[in-house]
């Protein structure tokens, strides 16, 4: 069964430094998608970045990059030059493959709470 694991319940980082949030996944599908969402204290879910299982390059979106290591089944989020506004809950998620019959369904990890200190 598909599963997402985020082993860091909480992380701290100094402003302007880089931070890596860990995510490992388990799936038997060859085709899948990996997502990161940010949830600030206001509660909304904000899409950050996507990585497809067949993408050869690591995804990047501004200060966010995804360190995709397919053989290790990891999809870590790297935030460069942290800002105070990056303090939030971060969720890693995986889209199930077509073969399982639920192509669009996302499976979420438990989340990592990031605190950025000045």
Binding site residues, other proteins, CB under 8 A: 4, 6, 9, 33, 35, 37, 43-45, 47, 50, 52, 91, 93, 95, 102-111
Nearest one of 15, 29, 22 to 86, comparing CA atoms: 15
Nearer to other proteins, 12 or 47 (CB): 47
Give me the least distance between CB of 44 and other proteins, in Å please. 6
Give me the least distance between CB of 24 and other proteins, in Å please. 14
Nearest one of 108, 94, 102, 99 to 33, comparing CA atoms: 94
Give me the least distance between CB of 16 and other proteins, in Å please. 29
Nearer to other proteins, 55 or 78 (CB): 55
State the Cα–Cα distance between residues 112 and 118, nearest whole angstrom. 19
State the Cα–Cα distance between residues 82 and 85, nearest whole angstrom. 8
């Amino acid at each position: 069964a598909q599963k997402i694991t985020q082993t860091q319940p909480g992380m701290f980082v100094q402003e302007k430094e880089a931070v890596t949030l860990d995510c490992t996944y388990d799936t038997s599908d060859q085709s899948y998608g990996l997502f990161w969402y940010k949830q600030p204290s206001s509660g909304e879910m904000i899409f950050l970045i996507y990585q497809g299982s067949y993408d050869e390059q690591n995804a990047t979106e501004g200060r966010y990059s995804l360190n995709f290591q397919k053989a290790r089944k990891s999809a870590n989020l790297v935030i460069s030059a942290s800002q105070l506004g990056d303090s939030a809950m971060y969720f890693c998620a995986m889209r199930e493959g077509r073969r399982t019959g639920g192509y669009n369904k996302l499976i979420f990890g438990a989340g990592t709470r990031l605190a950025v200190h000045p």
